[in-house]
């Protein structure tokens, strides 16, 4: 789920941004929801704290109740949220360097009067690339049940003995999927390392790897010692972030 949180004090622009987001999201098979506000009041602050999942903010730099810069500072510093995407929009071009200079990790500062629709589409594309990298999902059907498991929640994948299935170990439980380990890995991305013929591990779920002891310590406390000799160096470098 992607949550778009828009704050814009002009009703016509608020409606236009919502329409542009709807148009943009037609290209993606992803659930999303838009939340709209006209100022940074208590309702906005409550929503920002309560809404869960991936968030993309469109913030007007000036409203009757608060500024977009203060709102972005709240998101980053008070809520310690450095993952959500923030796009600043304003008709006041002079605020651009102030906004970008606050080290708030803005995706972009868009001038309402300067081809804003095209620039908003470009900024949203950047946001979606970030979403794809962090929140990709493994979607498949097994025995008439549709599954949708986020890559980041998968801990490891293991080939089931004497069958043509694999077992997916995730943060919220285990799942079965039809196919060989290589066939499953083809649906995933580079964060998954094939440790041996039967097991692949999500590097993002690894707390540490002791090369000498060939010991993978997962974030859930589980230990794994079966990384093959040919894969040890790759595992070591992937955990270090070298490759």
How far is Cα 156 from Cα 174, in angstroms, rounded to an integer?
Answer: 10
Per-domain residue ranges of the chain: 2-135, 137-240
Neighbours of 182 (CB within 10 A): 12
Coil, helix or strand at residue 186 = coil
- Cβ–Cβ < 8 Å for 178, 165: yes
Q: Is the domain defined by 137-240 classed in CATH 2.40.50.1020?
A: yes
Q: Give pLDDT, residue 198.
A: 96
Q: Give pLDDT, residue 95.
A: 59
**H/E run at residue 130:** helix 116-135
- Cβ–Cβ < 8 Å for 76, 104: yes
CATH number of 2-135: 3.40.50.2300
Cut 0.85: pTM above it = no
How far is Cα 206 from Cα 240, in angstroms, rounded to an integer?
Answer: 10
Q: What is the pLDDT along the chain (243 residues), one digit of tens a residue?
A: 899 999 998 899 999 999 999 999 988 878 899 999 999 999 999 999 999 888 999 999 888 888 888 999 999 989 998 889 999 988 766 656 566 666 778 888 888 777 778 889 999 999 988 887 677 889 999 999 999 898 989 999 999 999 999 999 999 999 999 999 999 999 998 889 999 999 999 999 999 999 999 999 999 999 999 999 999 999 999 998 876
Signed CA dihedral, 41, 47, 50, 52: sign only: negative
Determine the distance from the C-alpha atom of residue 214 to the mean position of all C-alpha atoms in its chain, rounded to a whole number: 31
Among 240, 235, 17, 13, residue whose Cα is nearest residue 120 = 17
């Amino acid at each position: 789920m992607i949550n778009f949180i828009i704050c814009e004090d002009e009703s016509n622009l608020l409606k236009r941004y919502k329409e542009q987001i709807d148009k943009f999201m037609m290209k993606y098979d992803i659930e999303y929801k838009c939340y709209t506000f006209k100022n940074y009041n208590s309702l906005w602050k409550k929503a920002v704290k309560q809404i869960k999942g991936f968030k993309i903010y469109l913030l007007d730099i000036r409203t009757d109740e608060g500024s977009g810069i203060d709102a972005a500072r709240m998101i980053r510093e008070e809520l310690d949220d450095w993952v959500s995407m923030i796009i600043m929009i304003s008709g006041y071009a002079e605020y651009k360097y102030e906004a970008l200079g606050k080290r708030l990790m803005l995706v972009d500062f868009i001038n309402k009067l300067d081809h804003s629709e095209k620039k908003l589409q470009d900024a949203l594309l950047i946001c979606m690339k970030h979403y794809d990298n962090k929140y990709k999902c493994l979607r498949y059907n097994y025995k008439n049940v549709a599954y949708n498991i986020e890559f980041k929640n998968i801990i490891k994948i293991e080939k089931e003995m004497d069958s043509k299935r694999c077992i997916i170990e995730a943060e919220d439980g285990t799942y079965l999927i039809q196919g060989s380990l290589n066939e499953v890995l083809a649906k995933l991305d580079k964060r998954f390392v094939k440790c041996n013929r039967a097991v692949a591990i999500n590097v993002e779920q690894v707390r540490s790897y002791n090369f000498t002891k060939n010991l993978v310590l997962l974030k859930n406390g589980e230990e794994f010692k079966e990384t093959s000799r040919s894969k040890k160096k790759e595992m070591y470098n992937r955990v270090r972030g070298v490759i």
